[in-house]
Amino acid sequence: MTLLQKANAQIEKNINTYKTAWDAFFETRDPNAINTDSFDEQVTVVTAEGNITGIDGFRDYYNNYLTGFSDAEFNFIDIIGQGDQLVKHWNFKGTHDGEMFGIPPTNNKVDISGTTVVLMKDGKVLQEQDFFDNYSFLMQLGLLE
């Protein structure tokens, strides 16, 4: 196997690990799908309010989407990779019928798309940073006019 073939095989493995973990999270609605099988213990989510590091904090952060949207539907549009980096293009839909990040339910439907930049380490997710139109998200929730 050439060096390029090994690199491509690792990228495919990273994509499969990543996709399998997030599919399990949303399909089973089980926050414990975020675990050390697929995520580094020091996994970090980069946010505008500051980084959240550690698997428990990471799990709690993303669990807001499960508690806030009982019908959460998450779809991968595409995932591409280079080296230890992945870029995920995604779509999220749901009805805001539960508390999310301290925001009481609005019962509004949302439909947003965005991208996530992912850093992998030793075949596990080490860092994520989401990019999406937060203004549109808040408008759909009915929190802005």
Residues 23-56 have pLDDT tens digits of 999 999 999 999 999 999 999 999 999 999 999 9
Domains, the chain, ranges and CATH? 3-141 (3.10.450.50)
Alpha-carbon span 82 to 50, nearest angstrom = 26
Alpha-carbon span 109 to 19, nearest angstrom = 25
Q: How large a percentage of the chain has pLDDT more than 70?
A: 100
- How does the average pLDDT of the chain come out, rounded? 96
Q: Which of 25, 97, 113, 111 is nearest to 61 (CA)?
A: 25
Least-confidence region, from 3-7, 77-81, 122-126: 3-7
Alpha-carbon span 38 to 109, nearest angstrom = 30
Alpha-carbon span 9 to 49, nearest angstrom = 36
**Residue 79 pairs with which residues in a beta bridge?**
88
Alpha-carbon span 42 to 126, nearest angstrom = 7
pTM above 0.75, yes or no: yes
Q: What are phi and psi of 86, to 5 degrees?
A: -125, 150
Which residues touch 113 (CB under 8 Å, ≥6 apart)?
A: 77, 89, 90, 91, 92, 132
> Tokens in use for 52?
């959240």
